[in-house]
Structures are given as C-alpha cells and as structure tokens.
Amino acid sequence: MTIYTEEIGNHLNTLLEKNYDAEKGYKTAAENVDSIILTNFFDRKATQRKRFAEQLKAELKDLAQEPETDGSVTGTLHRTWMNTKAMFSINSDEAMLEETIRGEKASLEDYNEVLDSKLPLPESIKKILTNQKNTINYDTLTIKKLEDIH
C-alpha cells in the first residue's frame, strides 16, 4: 500500500499545483477585465480554487505525504500569456474568458486522468476529486455563456 500511497500523493500534488495555478490565474483574469461582473466572478473562482487546494492539502497530510507549496512553471507562463494577451487585445474581457476556458479544460483533463487511473483511491479522495471536477465542469459552461454575452 505504501507504493500506492506515494503514487496517490504524487497525483494529488499535481492537482494541488494546478489549483494554485488556477487561483493565481483567476486573480490575473480579475485584474485584466473591465466588467465588474467578470471581476467578481473571477474573484469568486480564485477563492474557490484556494478552497480546493486546502482540501487537497488536508488529504495529502492524511496520507502522510508532503503537499506542494506553489504552482507550476507552466502556470506561471500561462498567467504571463494572459497579461500579454490582455495588453494587446481590443477586448480584454473576451481574451480572459478564452484563456480561463483553456485553463479549465486542462484542469478537467488532469482530474480525469487521476480519477480514471487504476490507483486504489480512497473513497473520501474520490468524492472530493469528483466534486471538484464537477464544479470545474459546471463553471466551464458558465464561462462559455459569459463569453457568448461579451
């Protein structure tokens, strides 16, 4: 079981990094939009992803695994791209919505990879990951609707 615990910990840490990245990405998006509705939406999403990260950290600690403490290099590059795109875009609201959809699709892939793996995930972890994935999926649809409005 120790090998599985370590492998589960590695997968959870990957998702933890992605949530750190998403939290920072949503903060970046909130800073780069003109619409107060989008600013509030992105701020709520940043808070939500912080909560997701806290849930994952708690599960990692329960597995006696060391949680990651920061996001990924890829996430940093994505946020830099978001800032650049906002700077040169005629409609920064639309640009931020497009980038957040792209980021959420990547998050869904990461969650699916872990949930579809053959690892014997404890039920508590499966439930948390499924709830987080479903929330991300629902919010991706919301973001697409917001994009249609803008």
pLDDT in tens, the chain (150 residues): 455 688 899 999 999 999 998 999 899 889 889 899 999 999 999 999 999 999 999 999 998 888 887 555 454 554 454 544 444 455 678 888 888 898 899 999 999 999 999 888 999 999 999 999 999 999 999 988 887 776
Q: Phi/psi of residue 65, each to 5°? A: -110, 150
Homologous superfamily of 2-149: Ferritin, core subunit, four-helix bundle (1.20.1260.10)
Domain boundaries, the chain: 2-149
Q: What is the pLDDT of residue 82?
A: 53
Q: What is the pLDDT of residue 90?
A: 54
Q: What is the pLDDT of residue 49?
A: 96
Q: What is the pLDDT of residue 145?
A: 86
